[in-house]
Amino acid sequence: MHEPARTVGILGDTSFVGRPIRLLLEQSGCRVIGISRRNASTMRLDEPIAEWIALCPIWALPEHFGRLEAACGRRLVALSSTSRFTKQRSSDTADREVASRLAAAEDALLAWAGSRNVRATILRPTLIYDGSVDRNITTIAGFIRRFGFFPILGEARGLRQPVHVDDVAAACIAALTAASPQPAYEISGAEVLSYRSMLERVFAAQGVAPRLLSLPGWLIRAAMPLVTALPRYRDLSPAMFERMNEDLVFDHAAAARDLGFSPRPFTLPSGQSGKHA
């Protein structure tokens, strides 16, 4: 007699990180119950689901607490972001609000979990990419293809640790079954490189020589209304350029120890980076 398949629920199933998580779970024989914005209002769960991965914005997670309780959820892994720390002192009010919302949402999640005997783990990734459909590297690649250069502030020497989406997915799944996980982990890429070097890799993946145009801050601020008028670049801000010279590096040793986290270096598929940007 076969044992019933392990069932895992995913909140934000159709998200960028949700696709590889579903693939990995299904390849291991798990049954996946996905809940997204499209079916959240109509989805009815008729069975207990003890394990959950939350990929929706973490500040939206309280909307699902009732659903998790009804499903007898006992294990929850939620995706947050290192922006909780990197945007705290941003010159942009919206950035600071994001950092505040992330911090408040993490606190609310851990408080709820503690009161319901749910073991919750928060993962905070750095810049997530896959070089194909992500909103980070592919936006850069799309700009390069369209204009033939990329603007930077100063020397863009701030350090980065891009983390591949498949490594984030693997960490989420590993955290579900970790024996004694911490409440939160930073999830960063294996390679530390400057923002400038990261851009040069994006150019190289497209087979073109790097053309980085260093601009003064006043010109970036003046040009921003024109650039953000384009729908593809509406999320850009002067603060993003300022962070090009800030080190945004996070130690993932705890995740490596407890979750077996083993990220890859920053690698882009040749000739494919940003193909959907």
Chain segment 90-122, per-residue pLDDT in tens: 999 999 999 999 999 999 999 999 999 999 999
The token duo for 48 is 């207990």
Instruction: Write out the chain's pLDDT in tens, 277 residues.
Output: 456 679 999 999 889 999 999 999 999 999 999 998 776 555 667 789 999 999 999 999 999 999 999 999 999 999 999 999 999 999 999 999 999 999 999 999 999 999 999 999 999 999 999 988 898 899 899 889 989 999 999 999 999 999 999 999 999 999 999 998 999 999 999 999 999 999 999 999 999 999 999 999 999 999 888 888 888 788 889 999 999 999 999 999 999 999 999 999 999 987 644 443 3
72-81 pLDDT per residue, tens: 999 999 999 9
Q: Whose structure tokens read 């800030």?
A: 246
Amino acid identity for residue 151 in this structure: P
Residue with tokens 């319901």: 116
Question: Which of 177, 195, 182, 193 lies closest to 253, judged by CA?
Answer: 182
pTM of the predicted structure, to 2 decimals: 0.92
Q: What is the set of domains in the chain, with CATH numbers?
A: 7-259 (3.40.50.720)
Give 146's contacts (C-beta < 8 A, 6+ positions apart). Answer: none
For the stretch 176-180, contacts whose Cβ atoms lie closer than 8 Å and that sit 24 or more positions apart, written own/partner, are: 176/8, 176/51, 176/53, 176/75, 176/77, 178/121, 178/258, 178/259, 180/258
247 token code pair: 């080190």
What pLDDT shows up at residue 274? 42
Chain mean position to CA 258: 20
Residue type, 24: L
Q: What is the pLDDT of residue 272?
A: 47
pLDDT at 275: 42
Q: How far apart are CA 56 and CA 11, in angstroms?
A: 6
The confidence score (pLDDT) of residue 42 equals 59
Contact 73, 9 (CB under 8 A): yes
pLDDT of amino acid 41: 54
